[in-house]
Structure 1
Amino acid sequence: MLAIITSGVAPALALLSFFYLKDKITEPLPLIIRTFISGCLIVFPIMFIQYAFQSDQIGNLFIQSFFVVAFLEEFFKWFLFLYLIYQHTEFDAHYDGIVYAVSISLGFASIENILYLLVNGIQYAFTRALFPVSSHALFGVIMGYYFGKAKMNNHYVGGNIFLALIIPIILHGIYNFILGTVHENWALFAVPFMIILWFFGLHRMKIAITA
């Protein structure tokens, strides 16, 4: 049990440390912990809603990928950011948006990862770290980037807040659709997608850091 919890949380903490330490002026740890724990807690209402949809036997892969999974998960993270961070005094730089959005996303990813490993076994820990956990972090990077743009610029505030939601939903939906469509050779499609996602996320990081 301890090994599963450790394997489930370790990738999220490693990624969070990477993004956190890239900040020119590091954010207060109590607030990072708060956002991380909040991200952990939203797993359970999301799972309940997703279970309700599955009980209704929604079989369409597109709907499952983009709405039942991507929309629900990214909306809850987006809403949590708006509620906890957007008006907070510590959110005073473009890159701060990335740090806090990644913290929320990785809190969510860590609990999701633990639950998956409990059901399917610790042998999936490495693959889970490379794909689902990393993808959640990168969706958080993109969400936080647009929240940062909205907060630091007076132009297109509403548009950037909308982009902070819709772009992660689209990318998350594509990721899920790839996994749902391709079973045996899923890595042939998932690996290139993740490489593109990393380049996209790191580019947004660079812009936010130098803003």
Structure 2
Amino acid sequence: MTLWLVVLAFGPGIFWLWYVYHKDRWEPEPRALVIRTFLWGMACALPAALLEIPFAWSGVLLIVIVAPAIEEYAKYFVVSRTVYRQLEFNEPMDGIVYAAAAALGFASIENLLYLLAAQSQDILTPVFIGRALFSVPGHVLFSTIWGAALGRAKFVSDLARQRALMHSGLLTAMAAHGLFNLLAMFELLGALGLLVFLFFAWKFFHRRIEEALAESSYAHKLGQLFKRHDDSDPLP
């Protein structure tokens, strides 16, 4: 395995992590904690792959149901059992940032395995392009569904409501991941379906980011500051 192959495998994940990280404009998360979450995402990729092995015989069942369920839960487990419990997780947007970090760590290891296999079959370029444009950002789109739910649940006092948000977010992410995998099984029709799916998924992703930023205590404080300024400076 050469260095350039590692760069190809991790480059898309690092780019998308940079992209999501800079969306958090009110209170950016500690970079060390984001990187640690990325590493945790990398670490959970192997156990997830091992859990999928007993279902290798099942074909479509593995691709559409088993793999999405195992992979989304693995990434969710990493965030919910580590950074979610820390003081730094103090804004709704944090759920999106840390979910993206875990997802991209996971996707980067998965990417490396796919590219190693593709290199041995002389199909490295198309596999790299397909995964960089679809699979890697797909992991972000799926996982930030439950990430946004975690970001909201953290600030809900009712325990039943917390659990409902977390569980519904996780199940929705699994369903989206499964639909993505199903569409990817088909050629022309599947490619068109993926483009439509990703278009709406990106719109949903950006809407969740704007909602999370709007719910931030920093946004509220800034709004109050501007209001006080306007009140103290009436028009002539």
Query: Which of 158, 163, 166 is the equivalent residue of 1:161?
Result: 166
Aligned twin of 1:9:
10
Give the aligned residue type for 2:58: I
Aligned twin of 1:179:
184
Q: Distance in 1 between matches of 2:104 and 2:76?
A: 13
Aligned residues: 206
Unaligned runs of 5+ in 1: none
Unaligned runs of 5+ in 2: 216-236
Aligned twin of 2:53:
51
Rg (Cα) greater in structure: 2
- The TM-score with structure 1 as length reference comes to 0.93
Task: Report the identity percentage.
Answer: 33
CA drift at 1:185: 4.1
Query: Which of 88, 98, 117 is the equivalent residue of 1:119?
Result: 117
Q: Distance in 2 between matches of 1:93 and 1:163?
A: 20
Aligned to 1:90, what secondary structure does the other structure show?
coil
- The TM-score with structure 2 as length reference comes to 0.83
Q: How has the CA–CA distance of structure 1 residues 185 and 4 changed in structure 2, closer, same or farther, with 3 Å as cutoff?
A: farther
CA drift at 1:179: 1.4
Give the aligned residue type for 1:134: P
Aligned to 1:209, what secondary structure does the other structure show?
helix
Q: Which has the higher contact order (CA 8 A, sep 6+)?
A: 1
Superposition RMSD in Å: 1.3
Q: Distance in 2 between matches of 1:158 and 1:202?
A: 24
For residues 45-64 of structure 1, the C-alpha deviation after alignment (integer angstroms, 9 at most, x for no partner) is 1111112221xx223x2x22
Aligned twin of 2:221:
none
